[in-house]
Amino acid sequence: MRSLTEEETKTLFTKIANYTGSSLSQLVAPTTGDGPNGEGERMVFRIQKDRVFYMPLKLANLAVSIPRASLLSVGTMIGKFTKTGKFRLALTSLDVIAPHARYRLWIKPNGEMPFLYGSNVVRAHIARWSEDAPEHSGCIVYSMDDTPLGFGVTARSTAEIRKLDPTAIALFRQADVGGYPFHHLKEHHLNGKLEFMESLDVNTKVILHFGVGFLCIK
Amino acid sequence: MAPTKGSSKGASSGGAKGSKPSSLSSASRVSKSSKKNVKRPPPKEMKTKARTEKENLAKKKKRVYTEAELNLPKLNTITPVGVVKPKGKKKGKTFVDDEEGMMTILAMVNAEKDGQIESKMIKARKLEEIRDARHKEMEARQAVKSKKLEAVKDSIRNAKKGKGSDEKSSEASTSAKGAKSSKPKRKSVSFA
């Protein structure tokens, strides 16, 4: 596990900035709180193999004592770098980026299930959306009770969406919380090392991911 | 000492000749005699050449210098881009772990993103304006077209009306004239 290089940091922030506004700086700023001098804990990004994790500095320092080969996960997984150097945001980053979202979209209850099963959002399923969103910009999808369900990229600008017919695609899905069961299965299948995960049901893992961070070793 | 030695030599040689007639080959005998009789040139004094002389110096292996040692200017040499690394630069990755570094990168990225979004919005607005203008133009054109059509329709309608009234009036007048002037006898066919 190591901290990110300049280039990696830039790539990561550029990707996150697709979805968030200028309040993104809150991510790296120290939280106000319960430090010894009244200062909060600093949140940092760390890279382990090709995955980027977001965690408090304290946890990062603790994780140093675990050998690289043995460390599977620490903190919240934000996404991973591809072999070509691009960055892919993972679903687990949703709770990190959702509070700082630049554009939001609320979908009707009848559109939730299609979205969670992996389809794009159609015009008919949109209840509300942020004004002035240009096309191809990152957008966080919420249910009507303000629960973030996933994120995607707008297919049209908001002005154009208004004129669309009900079956036209308004937002291309990138990730949604419906992926958690699949993600769980995939991760388990790939690693074959998360034995203790077996004892947890799907919901428990979701809660663990949503927490500030947890340490996972083999 | 010398004469005795010589006499003994001569005696032995003479005895050998007399006792052994032909056991030895003639050739060996000849060779022996010839060896003895060969006139050799007087031995020359071998002269060793000095090390500093030309021949000795030439044979010595010359030192081969590498190009780097020669410090020659590098002309006409192709060096691939990836191979040459800038001197004095730190090897390896440069990590960003301090808050300020992160913030500067973040600010840069944010500014870039904002610029992009702004340009996108401006572009979208311009396109929207163009679209609106085109729409209005189309509507205006449609209105003009429909007006024209209506005008043509009206003119046709009017023309029809006018024509119809004229014809009717003319017909009426002719019929009235005819009725008045001459009532033609109707041709009739009668059967006997």
3 state SS for chain A: CEECEHHHHHHHHHHHHCCECHHHHHHCCCCECCCCCCECCCEEEEEECCEEEEEEHHHHHHHCCCCCCCEEEEEEEEEEECCCCCEEECHHHHHHHHHHECCEEEECHHHHHHHHCCCCEEHHHEEEECCCCCCCCEEEEECCCCCEEEEEEECCCHHHHHHCCCCCEEEEEEEECCHHHHHHHHHHHHHCCCHHHHCCCHHHHHHHHHCCCEEEEC
| Secondary structure (3-state) at B40 | coil
- In this structure, the answer to whether residues A15 and A87 fall within a common structural domain is yes
- What's the CATH number where A133 sits? 2.30.130.10
- In this structure, the answer to whether residues A192 and A149 fall within a common structural domain is no
- In this structure, the answer to whether residues A12 and A65 fall within a common structural domain is yes
Mean pLDDT of chain A: 82
A14 vs B: CB within 8 A? yes
Q: Inspect the interface and report whether the beta carbons of A22 and B96 lie closer than 8 Å.
A: no
- In this structure, the answer to whether residues A108 and A88 fall within a common structural domain is no
| Segments of chain B scoring below 70 in pLDDT | 1-36, 56-60, 73-77, 79-86, 163-182
Q: What is the pTM of this model?
A: 0.61
Residue B188 has a pLDDT of: 85
Q: Does pLDDT of A1 surpass 90?
A: no
- What's the CATH number where A48 sits? 3.10.450.220
Among A42, A44, A134, the residue with its CB nearest the CB of B120 is A134
- In this structure, the answer to whether residues A149 and A203 fall within a common structural domain is no
* Number of domains chain A is built from: 2
Residue A32 has a pLDDT of: 65
Q: Does pLDDT of A137 surpass 80?
A: yes
- In this structure, the answer to whether residues A50 and A108 fall within a common structural domain is no
Residue A62 belongs to domain spanning: 2-96+180-217
Nearest to A41 by CA among A59, A19, A64, A53: A59
Q: Which residues of B touch A3 (CB under 8 A)?
A: 95-97
Lowest-pLDDT range, A54-58, A114-118, A122-126, B17-21?
Answer: B17-21
| ipTM score assigned to the predicted complex | 0.75
A57 vs B: CB within 8 A? no
Q: Does pLDDT of A188 surpass 50?
A: no
Q: Does pLDDT of A121 surpass 90?
A: yes
Residue B151 has a pLDDT of: 95
- In this structure, the answer to whether residues A172 and A197 fall within a common structural domain is no
